[in-house]
Structures are given as structure tokens and as C-alpha cells.
A and B are shown apart, each in its own frame.
Chain A
Amino acid sequence: MDLISDQGLRVDGRRAGELRRIRCKLGVYDQPDGSAYLEQGHTKVLAAVYGPHQIRGSRTKALQDSVVINCQYSMATFSTGERKKRPRGDRRSTEMTMLLKQAVSAVIKAELYPRSQIDVFLEVLQADGGNYCACVNAATLALIDAGIPLREYVVACTASLANGKVPLVDISHLEETMGGPNLTVAALPLSGQIAVMEMSQRFHIDHLEEVTQLALQGCRDIYKILDKAVKEHLLETGDFFPQLESN
């Protein structure tokens, strides 16, 4: 099966540079300090943020000049086609957790909360490609919902290469399994900085540039959608985030 047809349409009917439909909502739970739900196509994730609060457990973990960021990535056992045995603890989840921490650490103003801790929990409810991206995007929304000061949004997006020459953005699960190498980028869209970059296979250097550019463009497009959702949420709730405004 071709990833992109002669008529320029992908398997699901999108064009090469089009994102899947993104729907999101902030403040879906009352218990956590911040929460968000995000759908990117059929990939659906929940994010919950606790803190900043006192260090839990051993005090020795505490940092004198910055906050401890604790992330946890898990996948609901019903999130994939075949039922998963356990929600976390496997190699992939551990790696995801690490990469998530790397992405959120890039934007949280950690120096404001020495000797404290922020917890970011992410749960994939349904997996259909780009799980990591959906998690990063949802985490950004939940952090905003929790009122934690951020440098700017951190937004993630995938890109790939169809038929060895056409770059594609926001890769679905089907495209992940059918296609070639897969690039994931978590970026700070306003400043254009890249927080995390990961490849599933090697890319040839000739293609890397255009695929990266397309992934970054995807991040900017997603940013607009998230920003709109945040503003709408603000209007609805009347909440106010001085930290974000001052940025």
C-alpha cells in the first residue's frame, strides 16, 4: 500500500501537510491541580498535574535551586488493538517517561520552586500513532491549567517520508507501521527551539532537513490549536494566569 496516492491523498484522506483532527479540553478533573484531555485523530490521552508541592518520600531527592519534575507515562491496557499486559514499566514506557520529562523540563520555570516537586501523569486511553506527541501536547495544557509558570508552550509532532520522497506530517498508527523512518520533534514553537528529537530509524541526511521542517511546521499548527483552546477555556472559566501573561 502506498502512503500517498498519485492524487496526493494519504490512506486516511489527508494531504501530506495536514494534521489529524485535534480536540482538547482543559480542566477535566477537579482533584489534580491541573488536567487536560486531548484527542489527536484516534489517539486519546489524559494528563494530570500535581504541584508544586513538598517533596514526597525521601527528602534527599530535593534540589536546592530548582523543582523536581516527576513524570509518569502509562498506557491503558485497552488502549491498543490487542490488550496490553500491564500499563507501564516496560522498556518503551520507561523511555517515554524520560522523553516526556525532558520535554516539560524545557519549559517549566524550575528555578521558581526550589525544594519542591511537580508531578505530571499521562495516560494513553487509545493509541493510534503519535502517542508521545499527544502526551506532550496534553501535558502542556495540564501544566497551564495548573497555573505553573512556563517559558512557552512545548508542542510535539511527528513527520515521516512517504515513498522515499514526500514528507508527511502527524503520522497515524497505520502509517507508522507501513512506512519508513519516523521523526518525533518536541519544540518550543515561538522561539523555534527543539526540546526533544527522536527517530525510529536512520534518515538519510538529504531528507532530514525537509522532514524536520515539516515536523516543526506541524508543531506551529498544533500550537495555534492549543492556544485557541486555552483562550476559550479562559473565557469560559474566567481564570487568570499572570505567569503566562508576563512572558
Chain B
Amino acid sequence: MLTSKTFLRKTKKGNILKIVREHYLREDIWCGSKVCSECCAKTDDQVLDENPTIACTKHNYGHYLVLDTNVVLDQIDVLEEDVLKNVIILQTVIDEVKHRSSTIYKRLKDVIGDGRRKFYVFVNEHHQDTYIEREQGESINDRNDRAIRTAALWYQKHLKAFPTQKDKRKGIKVILLTDDRKNREEAIKSGLIASSVEDYVEQLTDAKGIGDKLSKRNFTSDISEKDATYPSHLTPAQIHDGIKNGQLIQGSFQASRENYLEGQVNTEKFEKPILVQGRAGLNRAIDGDTVAVELLPEAEWTAPSDIVLQDDETADPEELNEKENLIKEVKVVEKRPTGKIVGIVRRKWRQYCGILQANPMVGSVRNIFVPADRKIPKIRIETRQYELLVSQRIIVAIDSWPRTSRYPLGHFVRALGKIGDKETENEVLLLEHDVPHSKFSDLVLSFLPKMPWIITPEDLKQRVDLRGIDICSVDPPGCTDIDDALHCRPLENGNYEVGVHIADVSHFIRPGTALDNEAASRATTVYLVDKRIDMVPELLSSNLCSLRGNEERFAFSCVWEITKDAKIIHTKFHKSVICSKAAMTYEEAQNIIDDKSQNHSIAVSLRGLNSLAKILKRRRIENGALVLASPEIRFQVDSETHDPIDVEAKKMRETNSMVEEFMLLANISVAEKILQEFPECALLRRHPVPPLPNFDPLIKAGRNQGFEIDVSSGKALADSLDRAHKSDNPYFNTMLRILATRCMMQAVYFASGMLQQEEFFHYGLAAPIYTHFTSPIRRYADIIVHRLLAACIGADKTYGDLLNKQKTQECCHNLNYRNRMAQYAGRASVALHTHLFFRNKIQDEEGYVLFVRKNALQILIPKYGLEGTLYLVPATGQPTANFVYNEEDQSQRCGNIVFHAFDPVTVQLSLDRSNVQHEKLVLKMVKPFIKDFSVPSVQANTGDAVASDDKMDLDVPQTLPEVETPSKRKESETETAQSKKSKKKKKSKN
């Protein structure tokens, strides 16, 4: 049975505990080589080739590779190259990798799982001949290195017994790859073949470009204090002690998007984040890292600077110091705890998208990489393919950041495609937002129903047949993933029967299958302007689950009996078979409702639904539901946004609101039902009440314009927003609502057992309980909710994870993360298309000042839903106009022209393509006119407008304001800044 040995392991755990664990050593662990006739492995487990071949000038004999831990951790990008095959991964290595980096562990597992790569896992720690005990005085690292060598030696000996056909005398060799010189020497001494990764890879003749992917982790140079740009980091032990005795605080570092020399550390100890500033203060921390901070004495505390600072490629050191000083001179108003980063607890480096910075030195290997994400510093890389890569979007990984280097060191991972290509840019924004977008694997697709799909008599037996009922769906034009349909018919007692029928996705996606896991990981369908990244394969999303017109489909139905004044008499849920009579657009449905001559059953149905929806909506708003100028909030209120093509002008028809009201009603009904049945593990959605300080900017902005915003409750807020109108600034109300939206918290999914009932509240909808049920094709949360509801009514079985609140909560974390990322990706896509739109265009647009900053104005351009920073002081050189910043009333003054928040301006938009690698939307002030600062309107001057310095980067807006395209713009006229008369504009109704 077992050979067993026990061994001791001591672990510290508060008090010192002696932990003794059993450790069984086995005889039944096989070598995994096809050549072996001694081991009794199944052929499936023999992954290593009989005749391993690799084109290598030095090692031109059959060999397997054994790697040490650091090779896997540092050179995972090289390992992911298909050219490396027949690799033995030891358990010692796997365990260490798992312990040190979960992302690399996952990537390693993917490589191992890829059958073509022929990676074999050898469980050396439980093999009776390769297990070794740690010797007295031996460090764990040394012990593990020895274990790796021992296993390699075992292989060498084991394989000698099986000579290959090619060279008859000797068996397959084993090469140990390690970048640790000492380990290599020891290995060679014991009779192994050992090599560094770099040496090995360079001898490969079939692997062009693989050298670029080598990690520069082991870059070392003599550091003299004089050369060092950064203070040194504390050792892990010092950090540990410092945190323990309270001198240091642990937290996660968050870099500022706007100022590359500033960031904050979020800690559990302080409510407010700790501010860190300057090169030395940031001390090589990169966004997301877990760091140790030391608080400065209170006298040295400062406030976040109001300036916007980009790391300009051209900046020389002197300028740099100036910039640092610029940061330092801060008024003593809102001081925040300030600290400096003294050590890194855990790096959270990932791979970054970006471009190479133009390099004037021809043939130079050393290059600078500029990440797309502004929060990430530039990275030094070495590549021999500069000419090829300079026009491409590429991916780079960080390897290390020595004290002497201004930027971190990294290596090239792969190229995505040509800069500016829409495909490439889409790829970039999907990668940057961590959106899984690869093709569905064959394994996932194997769980799809076999075509042709037919409804069997058994299916019908388990479902209510609603094929005879006149059901219809209403969606945006071009929608192919229709997940909801409705019906409404009068009952004899004068009430209505209303049904909401949702695609029965959980019928097709069974728990625990690869298909289910994939959907759970994707969590949501992501809509880009020109592309949709499906959560489930197309066969389901656009066909079998889509409730298309005149096709029989499975649905999960929620049917109410409702009185004429929209009171629910009772609710029932059941699985059903439906046949939608019409798949309409909002417009078509609206036309049917409006056309009094139409009196067929669909028309009657729609009118009934419409009248009930109006009552429901009124009641909801009376309860304090918010109407905010943001698709974010709209999204929650579940809406019409299936269709992203029409980003600018979203016309709200009655039918939009009609569908929305019934989806809300269904979601709430389902939430109540599943909570009742599963008080611990119901998946719900909540929208927390924002903490009052969140509203400060809104209240301040309102007060500056003479409006009191009451934020004591959702209802009060809704009412005071309704009251705040300015006759001379029709866009004012919308902007206030945009500001209000920014005070809101993010709505999140959660497992009911994790919170108290009071916390279930949905602030935006003013609903005590809410969930998502109505879009299972594009949201995974809805699939879980469907399963819960199906279990409630006995239509389906439960399974372990469904009833486990911890598992549900874990699932919620992923859903929340993916949703957030999907939203960001969607916005980034809009921004990308705006850039494309502005190529070869210069255009005057109306905008409004949203915020006033120390050196810039934040401007909102309603037409494109864009928000950006207009620098009043140029990044380099002398300012052309003298602006005075007044912090008290948040204004900028230049001569007699004053800018406040909400002031209308006219700006000139154009795309700065002078830097091929980094296109920028540039904005210049047109109106009000300031001498030497503003530019003439395009209509007056079509010339050299682009060359000015006052750039404006168009940021991805945090919210897309909801406005309609202004009717034809009038020609610009000369007006003084004081006259706030703005152009006629159709105002969005809210």
C-alpha cells in the first residue's frame, strides 16, 4: 500500500508551535517518459517524447529540461513560447511558485495543461528516491535547490537505462536550467548538465525573438549612494517588525492618474488614505502594490496638489526637480496624513499594454516603453526589433526596479498589432480592462446543445405551455440577444395578467460544466462601440436563448395578477415554452401604441403594459428613486442599453420606460422570493447609501450657484435636484446630476447571508431589496438567480456551491470586478472612437467648466460625452496668459475674465498626431477670448491651429451625460466672457 515516513516541520504561529505532519513517500510515482519501460504509468500520463528534438547548436542531443523555481517565476514569458517542449516541472517548483505568485502559478498551470507543450509534473516530494530532508543549518532555498538537483540526477540515472534509437549508447539527457550561478556549479559538480536560461535560449536556432522575452530580473550593478535615484527599501524582516510595532503601516498603493509624482496608500488603520508625494516618497511603488509606509511628522503633512502633471519624455533632471518643487508648495488648508513608502510587501505587477517611445539612436537595443495606463511608470526594455515594434502596440512585463534606474526594467512579451488600427486598439482596451475575450475553447463548446435543437415531449411535460399567448419583445434596433419578452391581457374580474418571460439560460448552462465556469469567469457580456464580447457562445446568446419572434423558446416566466391601479394581487413563477409573436424595436412598439387604429392583441397588450408602467414609475419616484444623468445608474435601473451603436443620442421613449418598469418589478419579485427560500445564500444586488461627506462637492457646487441641495435622504436629493434650474444655463441641471452621480457608491452583488437585512437597500431605486433576473444571456448573476428561483419552485435541483454563502460571495466579488471593468472598457471604447472621429478634423464645440483646478480647467463637452483637462499653464515654457487661482470660490481669473464651475465655454477640438505613438485630443480656448491664450474659431482661421501648447487630453469620462445632440449650432459670435448667454439647446428631460 504505502511506504510511509514521518518528518518534522516547525512553524511559527504567534507562540512557537511544533507542527508535526505526516509525509508519505510512494513507489508509484512515474517518470512520465514514453521511452521508459520500467514505470507502470498509463500511456496518457507519459507526456515526455521518446525522441525529444529541439534545434540547438550546443545541446544537439535528445534532452529534457528541468527548471528551478526562479526560472519559472522570472521567465514565464519564455516558457510560454511553443518552442520549449519536453519540460519536467518538479513539485518543489510548483509549490514555491504557488506560494510566491498566484498569477504565474496560473499561467504555469495553463502551460502544463496544454498537451502540445509536453510539460510533465513530477511529484518529487513524495517519491521515495527523490525526497530529501533539510539538513542542519541549511536554508529552505538551499534545501529546495538540492531537491531539484536530486530529482534531476534521478532522472538522469533513470533515463540512462533506456537508450534511444538515435544515439544508441546514451539515454535521453536532462538539462537543469537555473539562473543561480551557485546552483549551476553545484549541479555540474554532481554530474548534471546545467545552463542559464539566457545561454540556453541563445543557442536555439528556431526561436527568433525569444531573447527579447528574457527577464532582466538579475540585472545587477554596483550601487553607490551617489548614483541611486531612490532610497533603498527595507528588508522584509524590517518591514515585518515595523508593522508589528506600529512604526510602519501596511496598505495598497494607488497611483494618481493625473500626477505621476503623487499617489496614495489605502490602509485599514486610517479612514483617509495616506498621501505620498515625490520620487523619494513613492520610492518605486507601482499602482496596486502592497507597501509599507512611514508617516511623516504632522508638521510635514500636505494636501494633494491640484496640478496635473504628465511624465514628459523630454524632461531633463533639472526640470524634474522643478516639478517636484511645484508639488511641494501647497497651501496649508486641507492637510492629509502624509507619508513615504519605505518598503514593498508584495508587488502586484502584471503585463502592461503600451508603445515604444521614439528612439533617435538607430540600432539601439535599449528602449523606453510607455504604458497605456497613466498610473504605470515607463519601463526600460531591451529589444533588437525596435524598427518592427515602434509602430506597434506591445505588451511588456516588469522584472525589477533597481535603485539606480529612474524607470523599472522589463522585457518585451508580445506585439498586438499596428498602432491606430481599430482591431489593435480594441485588443489593448480589452487587455487593459482584464476582459476575457479569447475564443470559446472546444471544451466549452462541447457543452452546447447539439443542433438541430428540438423541443421534446418531456420538455413540454415539465413546462407550462404559453405558446398560445400573445407575447412580444421590445428592444433596441439590431438587438440579437433578446432575453426578455412581455405579455399583458385583461382578466374577467377586471384585473390584468402581466407576464415577464426571461430566456431560460440556466436550462442550457448546467452547473459545474466548462461552459458554466467560462460564463462565471466572464461574468458579463462586454459591449464596445463596434463589438460585443459575449459571455456565452453565440449559439446560445443569439439563437437558442434569444427570444426571437415566431420561434418556440424556453423561458422562465414571472406572472402577476395586477389591478388597474398597478397593485399586485399575486405572483407566480414557472418555467414555460413561449412563442413570441413579434420582436419589436422601441420605436415600432411606440408607433403601435400611438396608432389608435391598431387594435390587435399586441396593441392592446402594449397599451395595457404602458398604462401600468406609468403608474409604477410614478409610485417609484414618489418613493424617492433617483433619476441621475448617467448611464451607470441607468444600467442598474436596468435599461435599454443593449445597443451601444447609438452612443450619443439615446432617445427615451415611453416604451423604454415601459420595459424598464416591468424588468424592475420582476427583479424585485424574484429577489423577495429567493430571499424567502434561501435566507443565507440568495444572490442580491444592493446600492449603498453614500456617506454624507461624499456629497460635499455637490453641495458646494450648488451653493456657489445659489441652490441648496438637500442630501438627507434619497427623496430629498431627488426633489432638490428637480428644483435646481437656471434659466440662463439650460445644461446646469444635467451637470448637477452628473456631479450627483459621482457622489454615488457602486451598486454591488452580494450573498444575503453576509449582511444584515437593513444593508440590502438599493439607494438608487429606493427599493428595500433587489436582484438581477432579467438578463441571463449577458449577466452571470442572473443565471445564479435563475437557478435559485428554479430550486424554489422545484423546477431544478440545487448543488453544493449554490447553497454555500461563501462560494456565492466569492462569485459576487468576481461579478462586481468584471462589471466594473466592463463599464470602464465600454467608456474607453467610446473614447477610442472619439479619437478616430477627430482624425483630420478641427472643430469648435461648446463645453462647460465642470471643475476648476490649480493649473487647469476640467471641461465637459456634452456632444461627445467627453471630459478633459485644459491646461492653463503649459507643461513647459512660460505661461502665455496670467491666471490667478482662487481656491475659496473655486475660480480662475485672467484679467477681467473669470471661470467658475458650470460656465459655458467654446473650445476647439483637434487630434494631435505629431507624436505618432500617442495621439492626443487637443483643446484650445476659443471663447471667452483671452489675448495670447485663446485661438480664433475654426471658421475664421483654418491654419496652424494645432501647434499650440495648451493641450488637453481627453480623458475617458467618468460618466456619459445624457443629452441630445444640439440642434444646428450657430456660427460663433464675439461675446464677452461675462455674458453667460448660451446658445439655444434642447435640454434633456429628466
Chain A residues close to B by CB (< 8 Å): 5-7, 9, 11-14, 18, 20-21, 41-42, 81-82, 128, 161, 164-165, 172, 174, 202-207
Q: For residue B126, which residue of chain A has the nearest CB?
A: A13
Contact residues of B between 440 and 457, Cβ < 8 Å to A: none
A12-B22, A204-B798 known, 9 other contacts, Cβ within 8 Å: A12-B23, A14-B2, A21-B2, A42-B6, A42-B21, A172-B21, A172-B22, A174-B21, A205-B798
Q: B386-427, CB under 8 A of A: which get 1 and which 0?
A: 000000000000000000000000000000000000000000
A9 / chain B contacts, CB cutoff of 8 Å: 123, 126
User: Is A6 in contact with B121, judged by CB distance below 8 angstroms?
Assistant: yes
0/1 string, B791-807, CB within 8 A of A gives 1: 00000011111010000
Report the bound CA distance from A20 to B23 in whole Å: 10
- CB atoms of A12 and B21 under 8 A apart: yes
Contact call A204/B799, Cβ cutoff below 8 A: yes
Whether B121 lies near A7 (C-beta < 8 A) is yes
B121→A206 contact, CB < 8 A: no
Interface pair B21/A13, CB less than 8 Å apart: no
Q: Is B25 positioned at the interface, with any CB of A under 8 Å from its CB?
A: yes
Indicate whether A7 sits within 8 Å of B2 (C-beta atoms), given known contacts A42-B20, A164-B801, A204-B803: no
In the assembled complex, the Cα of A206 lies from the Cα of B801 at a distance in Å of 11
User: Given A7-B123, A18-B1, A82-B15, is A164 in contact with B22 using a C-beta cutoff of 8 Å?
Assistant: no
User: Which residues of chain A come closer than 8 Å to B801, judged between CB atoms?
Assistant: 164
- In whole angstroms, how far apart are the Cα atoms of A203 and B801 in the complex? 10
Q: Contacts of B125 on A, CB cut-off 8 Å?
A: 13
Contacts of A205 in B (CB 8 A): 798
**Across the A-B interface, the 8 shortest Cβ-Cβ residue pairs:** A204-B800, A13-B24, A13-B126, A81-B17, A12-B22, A21-B4, A41-B22, A7-B123
B645 is an interface residue with CB less than 8 A from chain A: no
**A206 with B21, Cβ < 8 A, contacts A7-B123, A9-B126, A21-B2 known:** no
Q: Find out whether the CB atom of B23 lies under 8 angstroms from the CB atom of A13.
A: yes
Query: How many A-B contacts are there with CB distance less than 8 Å?
Result: 60
From B15, B18, B22, B26, A20 is in contact (CB under 8 Å) with B22
Q: Shortest distance in angstroms between B971's beta carbon and chain A's nearest beta carbon?
A: 68
Asked whether any CB of chain A lies closer than 8 Å to the CB of B19, the reply is yes
Is A164 in contact with B800, judged by CB distance below 8 angstroms?
yes
Q: In the bound complex, do residue A42 and residue B126 qualify as a contact, i.e. CB atoms below 8 Å apart?
A: no
- Complexed CA–CA distance, A5 and B22 (Å): 17
Residues of B that sit less than 8 Å from A by CB = 1-2, 4, 6, 15, 17-26, 91, 109, 112, 121, 123, 125-126, 512, 797-801, 803
Contacts of A6 in B (CB 8 A): 109, 112, 121
**Contact of B803 with A13 in the complex, beta carbons under 8 Å:** no
Chain B residues, CB < 8 A from A14: 2, 24
Shortest Cβ gap from B53 to chain A (Å): 27
Query: B109 — which chain A residues lie within 8 A by C-beta?
Result: 6
Q: Least Cβ distance of A172 to chain B in Å?
A: 7
Instruction: Give the docked Cα–Cα distance between A89 and B125 (Å).
Output: 41
Whole-angstrom distance from the CB of A9 to the nearest CB of chain B? 6
B980 to chain A, nearest CB (A): 64
Asked if A42 and B121 make an inter-chain contact with CB atoms under 8 angstroms apart, the answer reads no
Bound-state Cα–Cα, A11 to B9, Å: 14
Query: What CA separation (Å) do A21 and B24 show in the bound complex?
Result: 9
**A–B Cβ pairs within 8 angstroms, 25 of them:** A5-B123, A6-B109, A7-B91, A9-B123, A9-B126, A12-B22, A12-B23, A12-B24, A13-B125, A14-B2, A14-B24, A18-B1, A18-B2, A20-B22, A21-B2, A41-B22, A82-B15, A82-B17, A128-B22, A161-B800, A203-B800, A204-B798, A204-B799, A204-B803, A205-B798
Complex Cα gap A81–B14 (Å): 12
In the assembled complex, the CB of B76 is this many whole angstroms from the nearest CB of chain A, namely: 18
Chain B residues with CB below 8 A from A21, complex form? 2, 4, 22
- B126–A207 CB distance below 8 A: no
Indicate whether A206 sits within 8 Å of B799 (C-beta atoms), given known contacts A9-B123, A18-B2, A82-B15: yes
Distance to closest chain B CB from A126 (angstroms): 8
User: Pick the contact of A81 from B2, B18, B24 — CB < 8 Å?
Assistant: B18
- Alpha-carbon separation in the docked complex, A42 to B800 (Å): 31
Chain B residues near A12: list those with CB within 8 A. Answer: 21-24
- Closest beta carbon of chain A to B147's beta carbon, Å: 15
Q: Chain B residues near A5: list those with CB within 8 A.
A: 91, 123
Q: Which of B2, B25, B26, B800 contacts A206 (CB 8 A)?
A: B800
Please indicate the chain A residues that have their CB under 8 angstroms from the CB of B20 in the complex. 42, 128
Is the beta-carbon distance between A42 and B797 smaller than 8 angstroms?
no
Q: Let me know if B26 and A13 touch, CB within 8 A.
A: yes
Contact A206 B797 (CB under 8 A): yes
Q: Which residue of A lies closest to B512 (CB)?
A: A165
Contacts of A161 in B (CB 8 A): 800
Q: Which B residues lie within 8 Å of A204 (CB)?
A: 798-800, 803
Docked CA distance A205–B802 (Å): 12
Q: What A residues does B112 contact at CB under 8 A?
A: 6
Chain A residues, CB < 8 A from B6 = 42
- Residues of A within 8 Å of B21, CB to CB, are 11-12, 42, 172, 174
Chain A residues within an 8 Å CB radius of B17: 81-82
Q: Report the minimum CB–CB distance from A121 to chain B (whole Å).
A: 25
In the complex, which residues of chain B have a beta carbon less than 8 angstroms from the beta carbon of A174?
Answer: 21
Contacts of A206 in B (CB 8 A): 797, 799-800
| Complex: A21 Cα to B26 Cα, angstroms | 13
B807 to chain A, nearest CB (A): 8
CA distance A161 to B512 in the complex (A): 15
Residues of A within 8 A of B15 (CB): 82
Within the assembled complex, what's the spacing in Å between the Cα atoms of A89 and B44? 54
Q: Judging by beta carbons under 8 Å apart, are B123 and A207 in contact?
A: no
Instruction: Tell me the smallest distance from the CB of A40 to a CB of chain B, in Å.
Output: 10
Nearest chain A residue, comparing its CB with the CB of B98: A1
Q: How far is the CB of A246 from chain B (nearest CB, A)?
A: 33
Could you say which residues of chain B place their CB within 8 Å of the CB of A20? Answer: 22
Nearest Cβ on chain B to A208's Cβ, whole angstroms: 10
Chain A residues whose C-beta falls within 8 Å of the C-beta of B1 in the assembled complex: 18
Distance to closest chain A CB from B808 (angstroms): 13
Return chain B residues, CB-CB under 8 Å to A18. Answer: 1-2
- A7 contact set on B, CB distance < 8 A: 91, 121, 123
Chain B residues with Cβ below 8 Å from A128 are 20, 22
Q: How far is the CA of A5 from the CA of B121 in the complex (A)?
A: 11
CB nearest neighbor in A for B13: A81
Q: Give the complex CA separation of A7 and B4 in angstroms.
A: 19
A24: min CB distance to chain B, Å: 15
Name A11's closest neighbour in chain B (CB-CB).
Answer: B21
| Closest CB in chain A relative to B524 CB, distance in Å | 24
- In the assembled complex, the CB of B132 is this many whole angstroms from the nearest CB of chain A, namely 15
- Which A residue sits closest to B801, measured CB to CB? A164
Q: Which residues of A contact B803 (CB under 8 A)?
A: 202, 204
Expressed in whole angstroms, the Cα–Cα distance for A6 and B95 within the complex equals 12
Known A-B contacts A7-B123, A164-B800, A207-B800; A42 and B19 likewise in contact (beta carbons under 8 Å)? no
Given the contacts A6-B121, A164-B800, A81 and B26 also touching, CB distance less than 8 Å:
no
Which residues of B are found within 8 Å of A42, using beta-carbon distances? 6, 20-22
Contacts A82-B17, A204-B799, A206-B797 hold; do A13 and B121 have CB atoms under 8 A apart?
Answer: no
Cβ-closest chain B residue relative to A14: B24
Q: Which of chain A's residues has its CB closest to B803's CB?
A: A204
Give the CA-CA distance A54 to B461 in the complex, in Å.
68
Shortest distance from the beta carbon of A36 to any chain B beta carbon, whole Å: 21
B78 CB → nearest A CB, Å? 23
Which residue of chain B has the shortest Cβ distance to A165 in the bound complex?
Answer: B512
How far, in whole Å, are A203 and B798 apart by their CA atoms in the complex?
Answer: 12
CA A9 to CA B94, docked complex, whole Å: 14
